[in-house]
Amino acid sequence: MENLVKLPQLFQAGSGWSYSSTGFILMGYLLEQVTGLSFDVLMKRYVLTPLGMINTGLDLPRRINVGRASGHTVENGEIVHADNDRLSMFEGAPGELYSTVQDLGMWCDTLFACPLVSSHTLQLMFTPHGQGTAWASSWQYGYGCFLGSGFRMHGGRTQGFRSLIQQYPEQKVSIIVLLNSDHMEVDPIINAVEPLLLS
């Protein structure tokens, strides 16, 4: 926490936005302080258990997690096991989570039905609050997701892994891609699957 406090402020509150894993770490610490519960317990009690997401949880590198996929990367033209992500050192909030396509399907369905939060809160999440980044300049950004024409998405990339969730609210359909290699591209998969879902 002391290291986060020492980081320089990028801009005045309310004057801009920047996607940052540090921001999620800080939010997790705040939740722990306010509730008096660990992030692991918070997630299980208020999100994972109510949704039946039994194959999702806090991913600690030294914990034996049966069935967990190993991440892969390419070094000197050879596929090798990837190192742990820097966030894996945080055993508290938010650290990193493991999940499955089935569990993430439950999560995606929740974003259509919103049983965990009010419809107003969910609407704020999908309301544009800023313009996209350099790689997504034609998109807008809500709270936690990028907003395109007819879809919303959020993806991730870390050592050994790629992921993406893309949702189509009008059709109530989601595409979930989890890859345990960081050298593969997600876009060709989306481009191949999307016409099948929307035709």
DSSP codes of every residue in the chain: -HHHHHSPP-S-TTS-----HHHHHHHHHHHHHHHSS-HHHHHIIIIIHHHT-TT-EE--TTS--TTPPPPEEEETTEEEEPPPPGGGG-SSSS--EE--HHHHHHHHHHHHH-SSS-HHHHHHHTS--EE--GGGTTSEE-SSSEEETTEEEEEEEETTEEEEEEEETTTTEEEEEEESBTTS-SHHHHHHHHHHHH-
pLDDT digits (tens, 9 = 90+) for 108-146: 999 998 788 888 988 889 999 887 666 667 788 888 889
User: CATH class for domain 17-60+73-198?
Assistant: alpha beta
Confidence of residue 23 (pLDDT cuts 50, 70, 90): confident
pLDDT for the residue 86: 67
Q: How far apart are CA 177 and CA 118, in angstroms?
A: 28
Record the pTM: 0.86
> In 3D, which of 124, 174, 166 has the Cα closest to residue 146?
166
Predicted local distance difference test score (pLDDT) of residue 88: 62
Express as a percent the part of the chain with pLDDT over 70.
91
What residue type is 30 in one-letter code? L
Between 136 and 23, the higher pLDDT residue: 23
DSSP 46: I
pLDDT band at 87 (very low <50, low <70, confident <90, very high): low
Predicted confidence band at 20 (pLDDT cuts at 50, 70, 90)? Answer: confident
pLDDT exceeds cutoff 80 at 160: yes
pLDDT band at 176 (very low <50, low <70, confident <90, very high): very high
Domain spans, the chain: 17-60+73-198
> Does the structure show a pLDDT above 70 at 55?
yes
Tens of pLDDT along 63-78? 888 888 999 999 999 9
pLDDT at residue number 46? 92
Across the chain, mean pLDDT equals: 87
Checking if the pLDDT of 107 tops 90, the result is yes
Q: Give the C-alpha separation, 93 to 62, whole Å.
A: 17
The H or E element that residue 111 is part of is helix 101-113
Q: What is the pLDDT of residue 21?
A: 75
